[in-house]
Amino acid sequence: MMKNSRRTAIKAGVALGAVGGLGLLAELLKEPVEQIPSVAPPAAGKPVWSNWSGINRCQPAALLTPQDEQGIVDIVRSASGSLRCVGAGHSFTALVPTDGTLISLDQLAGIVEHQGFNVRVKGGTRLAQLERELDALGLALHNQADIDAQSYAGAISTATHGTGRELQALHAKVQALRIVTPSGQTIECSTVNQPDLLHAAQVSLGSLGVITEATIEVVPAFRLHRKVSLMPLEEMLTSAPSLATQNRHFEFFYLPFTGYAAAITHNVYEGDAVSRPPSADESMLHDLRQLRDWAGRFPALRRWLAQKLIDPALTEEARDRSWKLLSTSRPSKFNETEFHVPQEAGIACVREVIQALERHNDAYFPVEFRFVKADDAWLSPFYRRDACSIAVHAAGGEAYRYFADDIEPIYRKYQGRPHWGKLHTHRASDFAGLYPRWKDFLEIRKQYDPTGRMLNPHLRQVFGVAT
């Protein structure tokens, strides 16, 4: 959405770099970017697992892909050492790593049956597959996350969410779960049968057992009309609450050091018209990176350049099936922190987050601001609290220590609850004050896993369990 096309922006960069003395100028202006140190090469002979962004990796004793639920029961009963489940590996926190047995449910995928708007789905089903199978039945998920690469069980286990003031996170639609417990028993819980267990298990970080199936409430298939427009930041901060009320889905992305934010709305439309121009997200990201690379050391120059390059009048529109518009693909790797603050504190919090982020000259990824409705799952960051979700990203391979040092204190000030799958430094003592049913969850966890088979170092810190 920059005034100059992506190609023009690159041309300008190449020109700066190519012309003798200007090449030197470009180098002088360039912000030195701190990189994450590379990890040691893996030991031979063992499987290697790494998460999507590459910051978590492990070499489990075994990485197993059972064919069915009985296969999971057999593994749980026979394995020694710790047990963890992996979905699509799209969490940034170290939820998955283990040196014991890692179980992937990739072979347990697809819809098992459906009755009206209740659908029973296998735990390993990727959201992209689920959306397509639902669509073929004339059904859809009520909402979606930014991407659909996740497994269903992995997504609900960390309270994955989309945006919409009246729309809850994915786990809130779970009516029943089938779980292989750490002792190898298969149990079921639902809104009528053991509802407390269901409320604990809906968001449980893979700590209560292996979720093999979920029954979820879905909605009739629907189509969405997307509109994207740019606004000066102050106008966006003032308009965001009413835009969230007026639109089924509303979110905004603030473009660092530009003074502008992109408002994205999605609303239901009737009819068959479809138009989906290719996404401009990657070229926008490229432009933002170019600006950082050229003028990162000089924020005032960077802002001035951005004002010259951005065309605030540019808009984008698309119409298509809900799942084709709500989720996208993210080819550029990044690391991310996201906290969910009480909705009434959202604007004040994001304002401070933006100020803190712009003290880091190497930042260029947009800040994402979303709305999520409250639910009843005990470890849901939206537990009985409507929230605004505020996310900060750093490019893959680049340093992100400032999330913890400079951004997290702001989230804490506003009683933010961290996204379970995104980077945070909270410990059990922090969670105890943020989650009214924290102790109840810990009791259920201990009841089902008294020896801590399904814990790893990260979860021991989260739950306050000694090694």
Q: Which residues contact 456 (CB under 8 A, 6 or more apart)?
A: 82, 84, 94, 95, 96, 97, 98
Report residue 293 CA to chain centroid gap.
27
Q: Please say which residue, 201 or 410, places its beta carbon nearer to ligand FAD.
A: 201
Whether 377 and 172 have beta carbons less than 8 Å apart is answered as yes
Greatest Cα pair distance, the chain, in angstroms, is 74
Token code pair at residue 47? 């499987």
Query: What is the enclosing helix (H) or strand (E) of 429?
Result: helix 428-434
Site membership for ligand FAD, residue 158 (CB under 6 A)? yes
User: What are the φ/ψ torsions at residue 34 (nearest 5 degrees)?
Assistant: -75, 130
In the block, tokens 């504190």 appear at 345
Site membership for ligand FAD, residue 88 (CB under 6 A)? yes
Site membership for ligand FAD, residue 358 (CB under 6 A)? no
Q: Please say which residue, 91 or 247, places its beta carbon nearer to ligand FAD.
A: 91
Q: Please say which residue, 340 or 437, places its beta carbon nearer to ligand FAD.
A: 340
Minimum distance from CB of 304 to ligand FAD (Å)?
A: 32
Site membership for ligand FAD, residue 292 (CB under 6 A)? no
Mapping DSSP to helix (H, G, I), strand (E, B) and coil, where does residue 250 land?
A: strand
By residue count, the chain amounts to 467
Mapping DSSP to helix (H, G, I), strand (E, B) and coil, where does residue 389 land?
A: strand
Interface residue with ligand FAD, options 97, 123, 346, 381 (CB under 6 A): 123
Minimum distance from CB of 45 to ligand FAD (Å)?
A: 24
In the block, tokens 């459906």 appear at 114
* Binding residues for ligand FAD restricted to 16-75, rule: CB under 6 A: 52
* Binding residues for ligand FAD restricted to 325-354, rule: CB under 6 A: 330
Which positions from 169 to 188 touch ligand FAD by CB under 6 A, shown as an x/- string? --------------------
| Options 82-90, 257-265, 285-293, 438-446: segment touching ligand FAD (CB under 6 A) | 82-90
Q: How far is the C-alpha of 206 from the C-alpha of 462, rounded, in Å?
A: 13
Q: Please say which residue, 319 or 340, places its beta carbon nearer to ligand FAD.
A: 340
Site membership for ligand FAD, residue 455 (CB under 6 A)? no
Helix runs in 296-342, H state only: 299-309, 322-326
Interface residue with ligand FAD, options 101, 150, 168, 380 (CB under 6 A): 150
Minimum distance from CB of 330 to ligand FAD (Å)?
A: 4
Site membership for ligand FAD, residue 86 (CB under 6 A)? yes
55, 256, 418 from 335: Cα distances, Å: 8, 16, 14
Token code pair at residue 439? 């102790």
Whether 430 and 423 have beta carbons less than 8 Å apart is answered as no
Site membership for ligand FAD, residue 101 (CB under 6 A)? no
Whether 186 and 393 have beta carbons less than 8 Å apart is answered as no
Site membership for ligand FAD, residue 226 (CB under 6 A)? no
Minimum distance from CB of 319 to ligand FAD (Å)?
A: 21
Site membership for ligand FAD, residue 395 (CB under 6 A)? no
Interface residue with ligand FAD, options 56, 82, 101, 151 (CB under 6 A): 151
User: Is the sign of the CA dihedral 128, 458, 196, 199 positive or negative?
Assistant: negative
Q: How far is the C-alpha of 299 from the C-alpha of 359, rounded, in Å?
A: 9
Minimum distance from CB of 423 to ligand FAD (Å)?
A: 11
CB burial class (10 A; 0-12, 13-18, 19+) of residue 199?
Answer: buried
Site membership for ligand FAD, residue 76 (CB under 6 A)? no
Site membership for ligand FAD, residue 141 (CB under 6 A)? no
- DSSP assignment letter at 187: E
In the block, tokens 């609290």 appear at 385
Q: Per-residue DSSP letters for 334-364?
A: EEEEEEEEEGGGHHHHHHHHHHHHTT-TT--
| Options 149-157, 253-261, 301-309, 376-384: segment touching ligand FAD (CB under 6 A) | 149-157
Q: How far is the C-alpha of 224 from the C-alpha of 319, rounded, in Å?
A: 6
Minimum distance from CB of 333 to ligand FAD (Å)?
A: 8
Site membership for ligand FAD, residue 89 (CB under 6 A)? yes
Q: Please say which residue, 206 or 256, places its beta carbon nearer to ligand FAD.
A: 206
Say how many residues touch ligand FAD, by CB under 6 A. Answer: 32
Site membership for ligand FAD, residue 452 (CB under 6 A)? no
Q: Please say which residue, 205 or 350, places its beta carbon nearer to ligand FAD.
A: 205
Site membership for ligand FAD, residue 366 (CB under 6 A)? no
Interface residue with ligand FAD, options 75, 177, 210, 350 (CB under 6 A): 210
Interface residue with ligand FAD, options 76, 130, 140, 155 (CB under 6 A): 155
Interface residue with ligand FAD, options 205, 244, 310, 387 (CB under 6 A): 205
Site membership for ligand FAD, residue 309 (CB under 6 A)? no
Q: Per-residue DSSP letters for 29-81?
A: HSPPPPBPPPPPPPPTTS--EE-TTSS-EE--SEEE--SSHHHHHHHHHH--S
Q: Provide the binding-site residues for ligand FAD, judged by CB under 6 A.
A: 52, 84-91, 95-96, 105, 123, 145-147, 150-151, 153-155, 157-158, 160-161, 205-206, 210-211, 330, 419, 421
